[in-house]
Chain A
Amino acid sequence: MGFISQVINGLGLGSIYALVALGYSMVYGIVQLINFAHGDIIMVGAYAMFLLLTLAGAPLWAAVLGSILFCVVAGVFIERVAYRRLINMKAPRISLLITAIGVSIFLQNLSQLLFTSSGRTIPSMFDLGTLEAGSLQVPSGSIINILTSVAMMVGLSFLVNKTKIGKAMRATSEDADAARLMGINTNHSIAFTFGLGSGLAAVGAVLYCNTYPMITPYMGGLLGLKAFVAAVLGGIGSIPGAMLGGYVLGVAESLTKGYISSSFTDAVVFGILILVLLVRPAGLLGRNVSEKV
């Protein structure tokens, strides 16, 4: 496979990381929580797809919409039940972090209980075969991934920068106390952020299932971790950073698979993280905050 196809495949994979990374980044931006349960939302979305397609026999579009909707509700529910009280009582960040790890383990175990630990196969979804342009051969899945992620990104920047809920989100992330005193219901903007992040992770899950139709209760683990790496690499809290981090990671993985060895990809991914952070501790697009003394 040629270099350009490798890059396009990498961008396709990176799109999935990017969509999941956005959720990590937005939630971190608004409540300074590294939501380790976010990766498991991908698993929740994948199983929701599986159930809708196989058991309920829903048409594809309904399964996709249903899975996204289910994840949005799950994200909002998790925030309400597990995090809100901690956030409003200004609990130390470490308590939030441990709670997030707890939620993650809970979700994995719950799914193991419901679906057993053996993997399930998702019926094939959108497959337009391989696209060819001259000597260039690219699987359609990669193109779908890239287009979807770009569309999501455009929609998201628009939402954050131009709408009133976006303004409320930004105000909450800058200074929640002051935002409340300006009439903003910060509980709403935080819940909205969780719902939005989870919805984007569900889109990531749909794309993931389209490319890799095997799902397990633990699929969110490494995938979530890599998306988190993408978010940190790009500069956590930054929306364009999360996208960039995702693409960089995806391309690095794809090129390592193609030119070095497929068993070495994770080492390269995490190696890149270490190198980038050594040079730019706040990530590629993160802002270095230097405290005036």
Chain B
Amino acid sequence: MILFIEQLLNGVQFGMFLFLVSAGLTLIFGIMGVINLAHGSLYMVGAYGTALGMSWTGSFWGSLLIALPASALVGWTIEKLIIRLLYTRDHLDQVLATFGVILFLNELITILFGRSPLFLSIPEELSASLEILPGLNYPLYRLLIILVGLLVAAMMRWMITRTRAGMLIRAGTTHREMVEALGVNITLLNTGLFVTGAVFAGFAGAMAGPLVSVGVGMGEGLLILCFVCIVIGGVGSTKGAFVGSLLIGIVDTLGRAFLPDVLKVFLPPATAAGVGAGVSSMLVYILMALVLTFRPEGLFPVKGRKAA
């Protein structure tokens, strides 16, 4: 039981990671209509920014002051130079252009930092673990990630439902032309949105830095999962991104943790371990297929939005 709770927490923590990245992705895809494959690169920029910041300031918190503006700046530049030209183009052009951005940023990071991955350490004050239940010690840092994810989700919800900018974002998702016709500076809105998404992705990268190795192309594997999250949740919906991310995080983690054990009932242990690992890595895609079979628009479709 304790093991189950611990694995559930691991799943939630992974889900929060996915949410930080997919929140920006769903806004950019849903509202601006742009498929941004380079979103994972912004995650990488955040992680490298943290690495750089840590070597300059020596503190994780100080490094956030470098990582977040760095990802904002890179996001702003990409939007200004590339994405802006793509709003009216079809998705294939967008995929090609943003794929080019991935290659460019990967090469740039290789030139700046070298090919060897960097390894950061968890800030001293967070390296302990907390006994949340008797016999269950959970690393403080991972708890913090869960907390931060929840905070960001709450903040986003508030921003989208309660503020003027959020109102425009909601309007832009469903009636883009109408918003433009009303004289709203849609260019500014798009830039703001893209930069916000970039900062979220960079923030996820910064939080990931101390846990995993910071390397070139680190965001690419994550990006595929994030696309799964937003498709399951419903494109353009932040609520969908949140639920989708949590679902994927939990399914992926619990699958990895328990599927081999379940299979051991029917199969010899060595085979079960291999088959279990194989099947559990497919599990999220099976889930996506299931969700799309019954809810082709995702779990939380944005009302009135034309299918992309």
- On whether the two chains bind one another, the answer is no
